[in-house]
Amino acid sequence: MTTLADPHTESFRPSMLLNDTRYRSLTFQFIALVAIIAAMAFIGGNLVRNLTEAGLNISYDFLGAQAGYDINQRPISYDSQDTHGRAAMVGLLNTLIVAFLACVTATIIGVLAGVLRLSPNWLVRKIMSFYVEIFRNVPVLIWILIIFSIMINAAPAPRDFRGDDPSASMWLFDTIAVTNRGVYLPKPVWGSGSLLVVGVFIASIIGIFMYRRYARKQLYDHGRLVPTFWPSVALFFVPVILAQLVMGSPISLEYPELKGFNFRGGVTILGSLIALWFALAIYTGAFIAENVRAGILAVSAGQTEAAAALGLRPGRIMNLVVLPQALRVIIPPLISQYLNITKNSSLAIAVGYMDLTGTLGGITLLQTGRAIESVLLLMLFYLIISLSISFIMNIYNNTMKLQER
Amino acid sequence: MKKSVFLGALTVAGIVAGGASAATLDEVKARGKLNCGVTTGVPGFAEPDAQGVWQGFDVAVCRAVAAAVLGDGNAVEFVPTTGKTRFTALASGEIDLLARNTTWTLSRDVDLKFEFIGVNYYDGQGFMVPKELGVASAKDLDGATVCIQTGTTTELNLADFFRANGITYEPVPIETGAEAVQQFIAGACDVYTTDASALAAQRANFEDPSAYVLLPEIISKEPLAPLVRHGDNEWADIARWTLNSLIAAEELGVTSVNLEELSAGTENPEINRLLGTEGDLGAMLGLDKDWAKRAIGVAGNYGEIFEKNIGASTPIGLARGLNAQWTDGGLIYAPPFR
Amino acid sequence: MSDTHAQSVAFVRETEIPPSPPPVAQAGAVKWVRENLFSGVFNTVLTLIALYVVARLAIAVFPWFYNGVWEAESIRDCRDQLDGATGACFAVLVDRWDHLLFGFKYPQDGYWRILLAFVLLMAAAAPALFQKLPRKMLLFTALYPFLAYWLIWGGSLWMPVTLLALVIATGLVFQLVARQISVDMRKIVSGVIGVICGVGLTYLLFIGAQELVFIAGSVGTEGIVSSVAYGLFWLMAIFTFALCVPMGIFVGYAIFNSYEDGGLVSVVTALLFIYVALTYLLGPIWMALNGVFPIELQEVASRDMGGFMLNMILGTVCVSLSIPLGILLALGRQSSMPLIKGVCVVFIEFIRGVPLITLLFVANVMLAYFLPPESNFDLILRVIIMITMFSAAYIAEVIRGGLAALPKGQYEAADSLGLDYTQATRLIILPQALKISIPGIVNVAVGLFKDTTLVSIISMFDLVGMIRGPIQNSTEWISVYWEVYGFGALLFFVVCYSISQYSQWLERQLNTSHR
């Protein structure tokens, strides 16, 4: 009989910290930790020493001090008497506004261009490749500057609307003014009873969703194709217009009018916002187009053929078969394009749009001289925006993922 | 000693240059070049010409200091800076002298720890509008869109002016002067505001300069002054008195033409002290006798520099105005050399 | 019987009928046009819209090109020549050609150096980009950085040559310690090196601890944040102080202990050799050599670089530096060690979460405060550091994708062969992962190259900075926009388009090899 002896338990020896794979990684990490602390000591020590020598200190008190400068686009109320902190918030909101607008527009442009790049029409295909290549291969900063120049020089100045025989006129029955300072739109004025109209509007939106669900249920359960497009359009417009008429037009529009130097009244969309918005959207749209094209090509040709064999028309094939499958390939790179838009929006400085970089990282930094604090805060803000976007988009991505069985 | 351990490898790789802690004068002499911060381009004040040689009114100050210290007006390394980078560049020792139409304010002098060495151009913020608007005064600008160049005291003055007069405006902040001009000409803003000198300089290059007028209001005092770091008084003295020597030279009638002749000795003791033929003012500054002579020799006295770069005969076409000698009713005044 | 059949038929064709030409509508250009441009209503509409857009653009742009003025002294001169007609003033490109390409401070008689460096760059990049070229050409690629440094920055030829010699010598030292000497001999070397390193590390950590105490002292205890920071710094200081001796002993021992396989000790010896050689040997040697055989080019300071050349330099240098860094980061992110992994993740996500422009602000306004007071880094060098970190984070993500795409079997096979981590990574994992990652890396490189234009915002005169600064603000060319921006766009387009075409070609190559 042989008894199974216990394996010889090695006692711990210092050399095992190096030679034994069980302990070695701990050793490495410990050394890394010490190295990190040493690096921090080095950098921090220098910082303190340099600041003392220059007679400066680190303080965020300047955020509470009066800013003293004006900002042209104010999503929240702000004037030159407010604090630098509030100016930074205005800048942050402006960054979010332009990033959101550009993301939406870039997606639309990108999907359109991506689909059209695969169009059977030779001319369209070539134009779209030209668009994609020329925008992908030239720096975004140059594009922003060029598009800004185009907008300034191509759109009429407010002075062109003046006089008896103006060289420019407003659009859509004198309701919209397109100038090189921005676009002036009519602004709704909420009279009494407008709440009801809004209520009707919301109800009709809910109605559209209900109707679409009903239509889908009909399709799945009974195989009946209920038309959805025209009824939806009707549901969208008719009840609201009826309510508006019945209530005696509680919602009226305030039209922009040329008064003094500028158009007054209505809603203004600043020229710098438009230039940055379009520059970012068109630039990023070219990248998204490539992602979309790659996504569509990734769907195997068999899918398209099978759908065609079922008798679906090309539009339906794209909408019902190809795009839903392509979406899974498209979304991950789309997330990083959205992040790129947000980050590239910091180039607003080149067109004078007062975003976060223009306020906190621009005028505030200059006026207070608090370079370190401002740049650190700036990076923190962008980091928070980026991380939230990728967090939200990743959740969306996970819901879109193929449910593998 | 400690630092050298950390930095040993870097030092020899030739990456690390001399330190900012040593006296600036010694450092400049050891380097053989003056690092001078200028703008990235303002016509007449600092701009590289087609050969890449920096020219301009601010540039002349750099060259004069270099000539006084190093004996060569070309021994200058021009470091272009933006509104954002100029103060850091000076504070971190990247440049020894900042001659970049910077307004002398209390907070910059005291809070940002700089030493302004004297005003080389008295400016003020003005407004330019197209003639066709028919505006006669800045107080008529209620509701106007105003183009501003950012990174200056301009935004703050503007906000103050409009608030004080109870009128509103739409600010359009622009990064470079050229882009502000582009917007202004295209009519994307009604008014362009910046230092009056820059307005005049830029208007001179418009396609049709006569279609634009400068409004009479000057809404701020903008004493533009070169500056150095706080704490190195010897260096500040050298820079200050080099500037003063240029101004005094004009007052005393010392020009680049008669410089050699006068430096042989004159009846006027002040000229003699300035040019080093009498007394030893240079030694007090830690320089030699001829320092001021060399500084003036680069491009002449203050008046000559003014005329050559921004004066009436140049495309910029600025009148002396406030920047005339005090004897001619201006503000330019150098303390006595004695 | 068979004959009857033949006779009953009047005519039997013995040759094939030559194919008749297809109907006009089904052949040649007409067919192509019909199929490609006018198949169906929708397509026809699209074609018409497209034609309209193209025509409008052509009408708008053509006179501008056609009337372009190529010879003029200034914008005013241009306007006089045009006399009210629409036309470009290309004279600005002629007048400022050198500035746009090389910046305005690079010595004019040295432009050939830049051009030569550029041509050689092509030759050096070729073997890395095209697998089919002879592998021996990689030798030139390895030499190229030293040559390019000398050509662009100038100075003595002996400086890069001695640097190269140092690199080779370091390799030899490594080989010597790792392979050539006997174990007994290595035991002695390990002992000496171990003691040196141990003492050195102890000293460094001791200084670090002092530094931490110093920081804590200056942070003070006012307010909650300061107090917490104060406590943390003291804690770290105590930690470091307590560890400086044990850590030194341990690392010294670790180096000594590796005398058997020679891994650690040879690496450390090579590093020490580099340090000593850089500090004490390199300068005197190249100066002495230069004294005997002076071969010099005019020296050019890095702040004198400008124009498109600066974009090219920044792009090439930063991409080449960031690839090794990116590989390390990617491996670190895959590591099983939580601390290493954490550091890499935080670094990558931080860099990817902030815009490049803020990092450039850091380079411009903050980095100076983080470095020792007596140091004074060139702006260009600070920018290179930041851009390299930036692109390394992106490249790390690309390589991580490559690593993730490798089948798990590759890792397991490497383990089962008994390879250790370094060997497995070097011989099995990285060659495959890098090959998959090349198109992604090229894309990052193109993006990075375009992003180098952002340095114009921190007052560097690259191509865009040159345009927005000295050219547009000069008295001669004050309101020239389209010509210069168009030229800038064209330059970038040519370079980036060529690179992206290469990347697409490579992707096709890789695809076929997989099937």
- Convert the pLDDT of each residue in A324-346 to its tens digit: 888 888 888 888 899 999 999 99
How are beta strands B222-224 and B121-123 bridged, if at all?
A: antiparallel
Chain length of chain A: 405
Angle B249-B255-B259 (CA atoms, 0-180°, nearest 5)? 95
pLDDT band, very low/low/confident/very high, at B6 (cuts 50, 70, 90) = very low
| Neighboring chains of C (3 or more beta-carbon pairs < 8 A) | A, B
The C-alpha of C291 sits at a distance from chain A's nearest C-alpha, in angstroms, of: 38
What is the model's pLDDT at position B20? 41
pLDDT band, very low/low/confident/very high, at B15 (cuts 50, 70, 90) = very low
The C-alpha of B268 sits at a distance from chain A's nearest C-alpha, in angstroms, of: 43
What is the model's pLDDT at position A219? 83
Contact A383/C354, CB-based, under 8 Å? yes
The C-alpha of C277 sits at a distance from chain B's nearest C-alpha, in angstroms, of: 9
Which of B92, B93, B182 lies at the smallest CB-CB distance from C479? B182
Angle C453-C459-C463 (CA atoms, 0-180°, nearest 5)? 35
> Average pLDDT, stretch A372-380?
91
Contact B173/A181, CB-based, under 8 Å? no
Of all residues in chain A, the percent with pLDDT exceeding 90 is: 26
The C-alpha of A168 sits at a distance from chain C's nearest C-alpha, in angstroms, of: 19
Tokens 């954490």 sit at which residue? Answer: C342
Contact B3/C476, CB-based, under 8 Å? no
- The domain ranges of chain C are 1-62, 67-113+462-515, 179-292, 309-456
Contact C377/B207, CB-based, under 8 Å? no
Inform me whether the pLDDT recorded for A5 exceeds 60: no
> Average pLDDT, stretch B312-323?
84
The C-alpha of C152 sits at a distance from chain A's nearest C-alpha, in angstroms, of: 25
Contact, A223 vs A217, CB < 8 A?
no
Average pLDDT, chain A: 85
More confident residue, A254 or B116: B116
Contact, C268 vs C247, CB < 8 A?
no
- Directed axis angle between helix A371-400 and helix C338-353, to 10°? 100
Inform me whether the pLDDT recorded for B12 exceeds 50: no
- Convert the pLDDT of each residue in C395-436 to its tens digit: 999 999 888 888 888 888 988 988 888 888 888 888 888 888
**Which positions in chain C touch B52 (Cβ < 8 Å)?**
99, 103-105
Closest by CA to B41, choosing from B236, B201, B218, is: B201
Which of C203, C282, C459 lies at the smallest CB-CB distance from B82? C459
Count of Cβ atoms closer than 10 Å to residue C450 Cβ: 22
* Closest residue in chain A to residue C340, using alpha carbons only: A29
Closest by CA to B6, choosing from A371, C375, C352, is: C375
Contact A71/B187, CB-based, under 8 Å? no
* Alpha helices, DSSP H, located in C176-222: 183-219
Which residues share a beta bridge with B332? Answer: B325
> Average pLDDT, stretch A61-87?
88
> Average pLDDT, stretch C298-323?
89
Closest by CA to B206, choosing from C74, A348, C182, C240, is: C74
**Which of A44-53, A149-158, B231-240, C470-479 holds the top average pLDDT?**
B231-240
Contact C465/B42, CB-based, under 8 Å? no
Contact C458/B82, CB-based, under 8 Å? yes
Inform me whether the pLDDT recorded for C223 exceeds 70: yes
What letter represents residue A378's amino acid? L
CB contacts < 8 A, B to C, total 140
Inform me whether the pLDDT recorded for C513 exceeds 50: no
d(CA C186, CA C232): 42
Diameter of chain B by CA atoms? 69
Just give the CATH number of A84-162+273-400: 1.10.3720.10
Inform me whether the pLDDT recorded for C264 exceeds 80: no
Contact, B54 vs B39, CB < 8 A?
no
Inform me whether the pLDDT recorded for C107 exceeds 50: yes
What is the model's pLDDT at position B22? 55
What is the model's pLDDT at position B4? 38
What is the model's pLDDT at position A14? 64
Q: Which of B227-231, C6-10, C22-26, C84-88 has the lowest mean pLDDT?
A: C6-10
| Burial class for B46, CB neighbours closer than 10 Å (0-12, 13-18, 19+) | buried
Which of C282, C372, C474 lies at the smallest CB-CB distance from B12? C282
What is the model's pLDDT at position B7? 40
- Convert the pLDDT of each residue in A296-324 to its tens digit: 888 888 898 999 999 988 888 888 888 88
**Which positions in chain C touch B202 (Cβ < 8 Å)?**
478
**Residues 6 or more apart whose Cβ sits within 8 Å of residue C257:** A15, A18, A19, C190, C264
**Which positions in chain C touch B77 (Cβ < 8 Å)?**
301, 303
Within chain B, which residue ranges are assigned CATH 3.40.190.10?
A: 20-122+224-328, 125-220
> Average pLDDT, stretch A70-76?
86
- Convert the pLDDT of each residue in A81-93 to its tens digit: 899 999 999 999 9
Answer positive or negative: Cα dihedral of A147, A148, A152, A155: positive
More confident residue, A360 or A402: A360
What is the model's pLDDT at position A13? 66
Inform me whether the pLDDT recorded for C171 exceeds 70: yes
Is some CB atom of chain C closer than 8 A to the CB atom of B231? no
d(CA C423, CA C429): 9
d(CA A306, CA A325): 14
Is some CB atom of chain B closer than 8 A to the CB atom of C375? yes
> Average pLDDT, stretch B156-174?
88
Q: Which residues of A63-85 are buried (b: 16+ CB within 10 A; e: fewer)?
A: beeebbbbbbbbeeebebebbbb
**Which positions in chain B touch C274 (Cβ < 8 Å)?**
9
Which residues share a beta bridge with B213? Answer: B129
- Convert the pLDDT of each residue in B262-286 to its tens digit: 888 888 888 888 888 888 888 888 8
**Residues 6 or more apart whose Cβ sits within 8 Å of residue C246:** none
Is some CB atom of chain C closer than 8 A to the CB atom of B187? no
Inform me whether the pLDDT recorded for C512 exceeds 70: no
d(CA A114, CA A137): 17
What is the model's pLDDT at position A7? 55
- Convert the pLDDT of each residue in A262-289 to its tens digit: 887 778 888 889 999 999 999 999 999 9
**Which positions in chain C touch B18 (Cβ < 8 Å)?**
374, 376
Contact C461/B80, CB-based, under 8 Å? yes
- The domain ranges of chain A are 84-162+273-400
- Convert the pLDDT of each residue in A206-230 to its tens digit: 998 998 888 888 888 888 877 878 8
Which residues share a beta bridge with A270? Answer: A182
**Which of A50-64, A181-195, B97-111, C214-228 holds the top average pLDDT?**
B97-111
**Which positions in chain C touch A335 (Cβ < 8 Å)?**
none
Q: Domain B125-220's class?
A: alpha beta
Contact C375/B176, CB-based, under 8 Å? no
- Convert the pLDDT of each residue in C117-142 to its tens digit: 999 998 888 887 787 878 788 888 88
Which of B91, B107, B188 lies at the smallest CB-CB distance from A271? B188
Inform me whether the pLDDT recorded for C352 exceeds 60: yes
**Which positions in chain A touch B141 (Cβ < 8 Å)?**
261
d(CA A172, CA A167): 16
Q: Mutating which of C73, C109, C471, C473 best tests the B interface, going by the most B Cβ atoms within 10 A?
A: C473
* Closest residue in chain A to residue C232, using alpha carbons only: A37
**Which positions in chain B touch A54 (Cβ < 8 Å)?**
91, 113
Q: Which of A23-32, B308-317, C261-270, C506-515 has the lowest mean pLDDT?
A: C506-515
d(CA C85, CA C64): 9
Contact C279/B9, CB-based, under 8 Å? yes
Contact, A379 vs C358, CB < 8 A?
yes
Contact, A343 vs A386, CB < 8 A?
yes
> Average pLDDT, stretch C65-83?
85
Is some CB atom of chain C closer than 8 A to the CB atom of B6? yes
**Which of A381-385, C5-9, C409-413, C507-511 holds the top average pLDDT?**
A381-385
d(CA C197, CA C269): 10
DSSP A157: P
What is the model's pLDDT at position A344? 93
Q: What are phi and psi of B172, to 5 degrees?
A: -120, 100
Query: How many whole angstroms from its chain centre is CA B46?
Result: 9
What is the model's pLDDT at position A4? 57
- Convert the pLDDT of each residue in A92-145 to its tens digit: 999 999 999 999 999 999 999 998 888 888 888 889 999 999 999 999 999 999
Inform me whether the pLDDT recorded for C209 exceeds 80: yes
Contact A149/C338, CB-based, under 8 Å? no
Q: Which of A123-132, B14-23, B102-111, C87-96 has the lowest mean pLDDT?
A: B14-23
> Average pLDDT, stretch C157-171?
87
Q: Mutating which of C43, C197, C218 best tests the A interface, going by the most A Cβ atoms within 10 A?
A: C218
How are beta strands B144-149 and B222-224 bridged, if at all?
A: unpaired
**Which positions in chain B touch A354 (Cβ < 8 Å)?**
173
Is some CB atom of chain A closer than 8 A to the CB atom of B27? no
Q: Mutating which of A48, A78, A152, A167 best tests the B interface, going by the most B Cβ atoms within 10 A?
A: A152
Contact, C329 vs C444, CB < 8 A?
no
3-state DSSP assignment of residue B14: coil
Average pLDDT, chain B: 84
Out of 3.40.190.10, 3.30.530.20, 1.20.1250.20, 3.30.70.1290, which CATH number does the structure's domain B20-122+224-328 have? 3.40.190.10
**Which positions in chain A touch B187 (Cβ < 8 Å)?**
157-160, 180
Closest by CA to C165, choosing from C30, C238, C273, is: C273
Walk across the sheet containing B227-229 and list its strands: B76-80, B34-38, B97-98, B227-229, B114-116
Is some CB atom of chain A closer than 8 A to the CB atom of B184? no
Closest by CA to B24, choosing from B87, B93, B85, is: B93
* Alpha helices, DSSP H, located in C220-262: 223-257
Inform me whether the pLDDT recorded for B97 exceeds 90: yes
What SS3 string covers B44-90?
CCEEECCCCCEECHHHHHHHHHHHHHHCCCCCEEEEECCCCCHHHHH
* Closest residue in chain B to residue C163, using alpha carbons only: B13
What is the model's pLDDT at position A131? 92
C309-456: CATH architecture: Orthogonal Bundle (1.10)
Contact, C268 vs C186, CB < 8 A?
no
Mark residue B276 as left, alpha or beta (left: phi above 0; alpha: psi -120 to 50; beta: remaining): left
The C-alpha of A161 sits at a distance from chain C's nearest C-alpha, in angstroms, of: 23
C-alpha distances in Å from residue B334, one per residue of B65, B235, B291, B330, C70? 16, 18, 17, 12, 49
What are the structure tokens assigned to A306, written together? 């099978």
Which of A55, A350, A352 lies at the smallest CB-CB distance from B230? A55
How are beta strands A257-259 and A251-254 bridged, if at all?
A: unpaired
Q: Mutating which of C203, C241, C419, C450 best tests the A interface, going by the most A Cβ atoms within 10 A?
A: C450
Q: Mutating which of C39, C240, C354, C397 best tests the A interface, going by the most A Cβ atoms within 10 A?
A: C354
What is the model's pLDDT at position C509? 79
d(CA B39, CA B53): 14
Inform me whether the pLDDT recorded for B181 exceeds 80: yes
**Which of A284-288, C124-128, C189-193, C363-367 holds the top average pLDDT?**
A284-288
